[in-house]
Structure 1
Amino acid sequence: MTGSKGGKPQGRPAQGRPRTGARVAAVQALFQSEQAEENAETVIDQFTRHRLGKAAGTESFEEGRVPDAHLPLFSAIVRAAVLGQPQIDQRISEHLPTDWPFERLDPVLRALLRAAAAELSMTDGPPVRVVINEYLDVAHGFFHGDEPKLVNGLLDTLGREARPGEFAAAAPADLPAP
């Protein structure tokens, strides 16, 4: 699998999409949390003070800054992912190919999957298909190999497990072909 570049997206989400920005920032924060072994509140505080919002004289994604990010969503994702990490990691691991264990995943990919799985577990969040599409966009910002395909397949499976009612209610024509 092709790797990312140090937890920074290679592309960038469209400006003015604060919920997408929150998801990008959550992936970066979860990467940092794992690498530095920092708890959720420490990482949330650091990102709120140093990485979220516009910096003086710039509105870009330079140096890992996320100019547009919905802070409540960012905080909720990071907290849920860190607090539920053992269960989330187990759910992800159960659906990975046996020759590709969880520990072998790129650390940014692990962070992305944790963030997405945490958001999928939020019953008051957006519909599963929206969450999957958003994280697929984020995956394309970080990776240019097969990782987005892996993300799509895993999140579809995790979404069906977390919120089966959303898929049962879908008309057969709305479901993707196997």
Structure 2
Amino acid sequence: MSKAPGRRGRTRELLVQALYQMQVAGHDGDEILRQFHDRPEFSQVEAAFFDEAIREICASLAECEADIARYADRPLDQLDPVERGILLLGMFELRNRADIPFRVVINEAVNLSKRFGASDSHKFVNGLLDRAAPVLRAAEKGGA
């Protein structure tokens, strides 16, 4: 039996939904923040982490997508929007949140993929983030 996600886990789940909505509906970060702050379940997430992730992903979207493209085995436009959202979140955490161990980032992304992605997306997400971690977290990965 899997345990219910904690506050950070619920935040990541909501972030995947927000990143999916940004891609599919074409909303910008400010609109996403407004919409998600108004949702009843927002009181159950880490607002500061959610806001930081949305703002930083929007501000560095080209860099995050370049990182994904560097390690992906297919073009970005062929990625499922759910996978792409999970990878954007994973890249944000690897690039900007050194306080979160890279193994946790990868594990959380894999769990999100198992929950929200296609049947084998967790394998793709795991492989891609595992290839990115030594570069984006060289000091931490070297000490692992």
TM-score by length of 2: 0.90
More helix by share: 2
Q: Which runs of 5+ in 2 are unaligned?
A: none
Alignment partners' CA distance in 1, 2:3 and 2:50: 15
Corresponding residue for residue 174 of structure 1: none
Confirm or deny: 8 A CA contact 2:36 2:42 kept in the other structure. no
Paired-residue identity, %: 29
Residue 144 of structure 1 deviates from its aligned partner by: 4.7
Match of 1:27 among 4, 16, 23: 16
Distance 1:76 1:132, change over 3 A: same
Alignment partners' CA distance in 2, 1:38 and 1:13: 32
Alignment partners' CA distance in 2, 1:128 and 1:141: 20
Aligned-CA RMSD value: 1.8
Corresponding residue for residue 96 of structure 1: 72
Higher relative CO (Cα under 8 Å, sequence separation at least 6) belongs to: 1
Alignment partners' CA distance in 2, 1:142 and 1:13: 16
Structure 1 residue 40 corresponds to structure 2 residue 14: no
Structure 1 residue 110 corresponds to structure 2 residue 110: no
Distance 1:104 1:80, change over 3 A: same
Structure 1 residue 167 corresponds to structure 2 residue 135: no
Structure 1 residue 122 corresponds to structure 2 residue 122: no
The structure with the largest alpha-carbon Rg is 1
TM-score by length of 1: 0.74
